[in-house]
Amino acid sequence: MSLKIQIRLGVSLMLGLLLGLGSYVIFTIHRLESEGPVVQAANARMAQQAVYLFLGISTLLGIVLLVRLPRLVVRPLHRLTADVERVAGPGPATRVSVAKNNEVGSVAAAVNRVLRQAEDERRATLAELITQRNRTDSLVRSLDEGLLLIDQQGLIVLTNPVACLLLSLPPKELLGRPAAEVARTNDMLRDWLAVLSAPPTAEHASQGPTYLVRPHGENLHYQLTVTAIEAFNEDLKKSEPAGHVLCLRNVSDFKNLDQLKSTFLATISHELKTPLASINLSLMLLQDERLEAAKRQQVAGGIRAETQRLLGLVGQLIEVARLDAGGDLKLNPQPVPLPEVVRYATETIKAQLDDKQLQLRVRLAEPLPHAQADVEKTTWVLINLLSNAIRYSPHGANLTIHVKPWGEMVQLSVEDEGPGIPKEYHIRIFQRFAGGPRAAGMPGGGSGLGLSISREFITAQGGQLWVESQPGAGSCFTFTLPAAG
């Protein structure tokens, strides 16, 4: 039975008793007026007793209703309030109990619906927060930069694998610990905190020093940047300090480029200075009128050779500048007989061979298909490979050129008996300005451009260029070109 019906029933019963009492009194009065004195006295006593009875019953019913009705209304509300507080508390309860199918039960059911909807929204929000946290955690973990977050109390609240690698500490020994405490036994973190404690600058972020680390045997350079964090205080309506972010950016590529630039400038200066000094000395000799004619011709030939060397070097620089500017290689592919390319290249470097008394052997396979290639670019590559082989070969050594079919390609190799190249340089020597290792008793590396340009020439024609070498066993540079159809 609903609470409303119970209240109406109690009030109706009370009103019924009162109306019954009133009706009985009125009926009794009319009856007494029409009766005799003796009968009136007897009936009056009976009416008085009936009125007292009605009054007693009404009073008792009123007391019952006075006690029962508030309890009937308040007790379910108290129980509902207790259930709501229990659900709102930290316990496991998530629903209020629906004891009866009345108004309070309806309110409890409505509260449960609200709680269920709030629980669904909370779960959706929690799932979204977990997703965002995992995404942020994955982003932080995948950064190539070291990241360390220190709050206003000096506690380390966030780190990533790169920072742990630089500090040589696992995350469990960093997170939640005071940074100053960790720095007592970690020199790297102590240096970082020294930048953090430096006087603040006008800039939002302050640059720190660059650190050199060797986590896997390779040189890595990291630039420290310290950025202050501010949080907005809603109560005070202003921003307050919330900690610092220590970011270590991997600047190894920039350092390597800077080193390559310095090496290139030193190398190119040497490469330019040597022929210029030779030309200058030769011109001084030519000014001597006592010099014989044959000797003059020899000196003039030396000037011509050094001039060609300078022109070749400048040509390499121009070619690199054009390629870096996005210029396309202008190729003229056509069927090319490689024996003719080999003949022209060997005639070009014949003077260099004779100067070091090197023995050149050419081995051409039979039959040998033509190559679909650009004659000028292919000849340039072969001359460059031969010049490198001559440079690093000892006096009286052998040079061998191999030309043979290779599937749908044609393969050409230049093999020398020089000092060889360690495996770790096999990729680096094809990078611009990189150059190779310096061997004892051998001249320094060239400009570091020839092999880079050669690979681009061969790759543009659909071929490949690589090296096979090991220290003490010479080197073999090989390139392939498509066979002419």
Q: Are 226 and 255 in contact (CB under 8 A)?
A: no
Q: How many domains does the chain have?
A: 4
Q: Give Cα separations from 155 to 178, 180, 230 (angstroms).
A: 4, 9, 16
Is residue 234 in some structural domain? Answer: yes
CATH of the domain at 179: 3.30.450.20
CA dihedral 163, 168, 169, 174 (to 10 degrees): -40
Q: Which residue has the higher pLDDT, 178 or 114?
A: 178
Q: How far apart are CA 360 and CA 415, in angstroms?
A: 10
Those residues whose C-beta lies under 8 Å from the C-beta of residue 379, and which sit 6 or more positions away, are 341, 344, 345
User: Across residues 319-336, what is the average pLDDT?
Assistant: 71
Is residue 134 in some structural domain? Answer: no
Residue type (1 letter), 109: A
Q: How far apart are CA 387 and CA 451, in angstroms?
A: 11
Domain hosting residue 89, numbered range? 1-128
Same domain, 150 and 90: no
318 backbone dihedrals φ, ψ, rounded to 5° = -65, -40
The tens digit of pLDDT for each residue in 153-166 reads: 889 988 888 888 88
Same domain, 276 and 377: no
Please list the residues that pair with 223 across neighbouring strands.
210, 249
Q: Which residue has the higher pLDDT, 366 or 10?
A: 366
Same domain, 18 and 83: yes
CATH of the domain at 265: 1.10.287.130
Tell whether omega for the bond before 367 is within 30 degrees of 0, i.e. cis.
Answer: yes
Same domain, 338 and 477: yes
Q: Does residue 241 sit in helix, strand or coil?
A: strand
Same domain, 320 and 345: no
Q: How far apart are CA 329 and CA 374, in angstroms?
A: 11
Is residue 152 in some structural domain? Answer: yes
Same domain, 234 and 306: no
pTM of the model: 0.47
The tens digit of pLDDT for each residue in 15-45 reads: 776 676 666 666 666 666 665 565 556 666 7
The tens digit of pLDDT for each residue in 393-424 reads: 999 899 999 999 998 999 999 999 999 999 88
